[in-house]
Amino acid sequence: MATVYDLTSITTGEAREGAVVVAEVRGGALRGARLRPVALDERGEPRPAGARAAAILERVAAQSRRLGTAPVVEGGELVLV
């Protein structure tokens, strides 16, 4: 598992939002990834994003599409296959 943060905006609070990546690896190869939205608490620890989850996923999905991936929001996660 890895934690990914969007550091594009400190003033709006988006810099404290990101996603935890859960990678699916089979036979030594990456088969897919699920991104779970998180927000950093006052200590800098990632916590479930709550009400901001959908906005975080949409922002990450838009960035992913610009990089040529086809993300799908499914069950509160962003799925990359």
* The one-letter amino acid at 9: S
Q: Do residues 71 and 80 touch, judged by C-beta distance below 8 A?
A: yes
Residue labelled with tokens 């040529």: 68
Res 2: pLDDT? 55
Q: Which residue has the higher pLDDT, 81 or 50?
A: 50
Q: Does the structure show a pLDDT above 80 at 78? A: yes
pLDDT digits (tens, 9 = 90+) for 22-69: 999 999 999 999 999 999 888 888 899 999 999 999 999 998 999 999
For the chain, the structural domain boundaries read 2-80
* The one-letter amino acid at 76: G
Res 15: pLDDT? 72
**Start-end of H helices in 1-81:** 53-66
Q: Do residues 20 and 3 touch, judged by C-beta distance below 8 A?
A: yes
3-state secondary structure of 52: helix
